[in-house]
Amino acid sequence: MPDNKKEIFFVIFSLWLLVFAASSQIMIIAPILPRISEQLAVSEALLGTLVTAYAVMVGICALITGPISDKIGRRKILLIGTGIMTIALFLHGFVFNFLSFLTVRGLAGAAGGVLSGASVSYVGDYFPYERRGWANGWIMSGIAMGQILGIPIGTILAEYMGFRAPFIAFAILMFFALLLIWITVPQPKVQLQKTKITILGSIRKYLLMLRKPEIIASAISYFLMFLSLSVYIIYLPSWLEKTFAVSGNEIAMLFLVGGVANVITGPQAGKLSDLWGRKSIIIFSCVGLATVMAFTVPVVTSFWVAYVLFFLIMVLVAMRISPFQALTTELVSARKRGTLMSLLVAIGQVGYGLGGTIAGPAYVSLGYVSNTIIGAIMIFGMALIVWRYLPEPGLKTLSNRKD
């Protein structure tokens, strides 16, 4: 791990800002769905395809970018991805109907695919294994701050200035992240892939990875994790607005409360996983999430209860993110880390996109309770897979690892 504290600070802050802007522009879709429906005259059942379009493009571009990042280095990929994302988010200000909105969400998804595994892989390259939980915890707290600041401010902007406004705001933040990465973030001193990149070669590399049981287990875990969250979260604001007649501002406060929980929990969970091991924390989080999801509808009998429940949801989500990312970065060597993380993110986005496709029809035809049950079953399945099939890397295992 580098000794330059100033460099370490800027690495963490630059990636934090990237995560903050990137996650905010994803999460803002759920609380402003009613505004999008009103202003573009789109049915509720169709709105889930906005999530699907984004997720599909993330998956495709992540698979393409993974081997490239192992070849040219993570820093260049971060610069390319933030540049494309900045442009894509600015274009959100010019959408005029649902099809144009779907198109720019696809472009943003392409940028997200370029960035998908880059920040996590960069942490894996830059920090030693015993410090990755700590580093990931701080960087991924950008997601929580997105809920505390990005989503409430974005929701208020959408309420008073239209649904396009928050995307313009996030484009400006993404541009600052681009400048910071360009000026302050170095390329880690790791061995890069020297072989020529080809389509068949990349496919072969992914297939060889998927022959390993632990890679298959982590891929299925990513799929279930993203599917459960998208099915559960996307229509939660719509259900709350209809059930309790609350405003967009009150939904914004809900996400703020969840973000506070994430900020409090994320860094501590990463640090504790460095000491106690990753698997136990991941499994506890998944089982807790399954329980809370399953009991959402009967428990939330008034809107104030939703604050307590969402706070707990975000605590459990934060407990899982950093340990799971730290664990998966050690399944292969540094020269294959970008390929692995892109593969996992791509598979996760397939789950997220499928969840978005399922969520709308389930919510419209069966009610929000169906979304909660599907989410609970999927996340409990992840707990079982992590418990049974994912290894907990130890120092001896790491030193003897062969790729």
| Matching residue, tokens 């993404």 | 174
Distance in angstroms (rounded) separating the CA atoms of residues 177 and 20: 10
Instruction: Render pLDDT for 262-279 as a digit per residue (tens, 0 to 9).
Output: 777 766 776 676 667 788
Q: Please, which residues have CB within 8 angstroms of residue 147's CB and are 6 or more apart in sequence?
A: 27, 255, 256, 258, 259, 262, 314
Instruction: Render pLDDT for 2-45 as a digit per residue (tens, 0 to 9).
Output: 557 888 889 999 999 999 999 899 889 888 888 898 898 888 77
Between these two residues, 292 and 62, which has the higher pLDDT value?
Answer: 292
DSSP 180-245: HHHHHPPPPS-PPP-SPP-HHHHHHHHHHHTTSHHHHHHHHHHHHHHHHHHHHHTTHHHHHHHHH-
What was the pLDDT predicted at 399?
A: 39
For residue 400, pLDDT beyond 60: no
User: Is the CATH code 3.20.20.70 the one for domain 16-183+220-389?
Assistant: no
Q: How confident is the model at residue 120 (pLDDT cuts 50, 70, 90)?
A: confident
Q: How confident is the model at residue 395 (pLDDT cuts 50, 70, 90)?
A: very low
For residue 82, pLDDT beyond 90: yes
Which has the closest alpha carbon to 26: 146, 145, 180, 178? 146
Q: Burial, 268: exposed, middle or buried (Cβ in 10 Å; 0-12, 13-18, 19+)?
A: middle
Distance in angstroms (rounded) separating the CA atoms of residues 275 and 177: 31
Which has the closest alpha carbon to 377: 228, 218, 233, 220? 228
Instruction: Count CA within 13 A, CB hemisphere, residue 205.
Output: 27
Distance in angstroms (rounded) separating the CA atoms of residues 320 and 143: 13
For residue 371, pLDDT beyond 90: yes
Distance in angstroms (rounded) separating the CA atoms of residues 170 and 156: 14
For residue 344, pLDDT beyond 80: yes
Q: Coil, helix or strand for 162? A: coil
Domain boundaries, the chain: 16-183+220-389
DSSP 97-127: SHHHHHHHHHHHHHHHHHHTTHHHHHHHHHS
Q: 228 with 355: CB under 8 angstroms?
A: yes
For residue 331, pLDDT beyond 70: yes
Interval 135-157 mean pLDDT: 83
Interval 212-241 mean pLDDT: 90
Q: How confident is the model at residue 168 (pLDDT cuts 50, 70, 90)?
A: very high
pTM score, two decimals? 0.72
Interval 62-90 mean pLDDT: 88
Distance in angstroms (rounded) separating the CA atoms of residues 295 and 195: 52
Question: CA angle 244-248-249, nearest 5°?
Answer: 105
- Residue 58's CB: how many other CB atoms inside 10 A? 30
Distance in angstroms (rounded) separating the CA atoms of residues 300 and 303: 7
Arithmetic mean of pLDDT over the chain: 85
What was the pLDDT predicted at 243?
A: 93
Number of H helices, E strands in the chain: 19, 0
For residue 97, pLDDT beyond 70: yes
